[in-house]
Structure 1
Amino acid sequence: MREVSATEFARNFGQYREIVQREPVAVTSHGRATGYFVSPVEYEKLQRYKHLMQRSFATKDLSAERIAAIAGGHMAAEHDHLDALLENE
């Protein structure tokens, strides 16, 4: 990742607009990152990951009811062949 001061970034925005297509650019002020300039592709990936994180949860946060429901769950008979694969290991 390239790192550049905010002043340099502002002066040469066109150059960094090209660079960001290959790698993110950290924009700094007084030696601290104040923002990141990323390509549209990278931004879309970040948005997808953010959306996925909202749908996931840590197992330690499951309620006792949800744990019991998961433990009591069974696969449909159409997937019995998968159990057979596990038994052969």
Structure 2
Amino acid sequence: MLTVSAAEFQRNFGRYQDEALKQPLSITRNGRDRLVVLAVEEYQRLKRRDRLVFQSEDLDDTEVKALTEGAMDSRHDHLNAELDE
């Protein structure tokens, strides 16, 4: 990720706007990361990854039972070996 100061970003906005289309751009203020500029396509990709989160106390008994009794399909047993490495 390219990092530039806020002052440098303001002086060369067009250049850094084009750069942000290629890779995320970190903008610093007083030497600390403050903002990130990125292409809209990358932002949309990240937003699609958002997930709805539930708290366990929001689940009813049927849902809790399904979770506790669930098992991975045996076709995926070979993946357990990767966790042991």
Tell me the TM-score range normalised by the shorter chain: 0.5 to 0.7
Post-superposition shift, 1:21? 1.3
Identity %, equivalent residues = 32
Note the C-alpha offset of 1:69. Answer: 3.7
Q: What is the CA–CA distance in structure 2 between the aligned matches of 1:70 and 1:30, rounded to whole Å? A: 48
What are structure 1's unaligned runs of at least 5 residues?
Answer: 74-82
Superposition CA RMSD, Å: 2.8
Match of 1:30 in 2: 30
Structure with bigger gyration radius: 1
Counterpart of 1:68?
65
- Between the two proteins, the alignment pairs up a number of residues equal to 72
TM-score, with length taken from structure 2 = 0.67
Q: Encode CA deviations 1:9-66: one digit per residue, 9 max, x unaligned.
A: 011010011111110000000111111000011110121112xx22x457xx364712
SS at match of 2:49: helix
Q: Distance in 2 between matches of 1:70 and 1:35?
A: 40
Q: Mind listing any 5+ residue stretches in structure 2 that lack a counterpart?
A: 76-85
* Matched residue type, 1:16: Y
Taking structure 1 as the reference length, the TM-score comes to 0.64
Structure 1 CA distance for aligned equivalents of residues 49 and 69 of structure 2 = 30
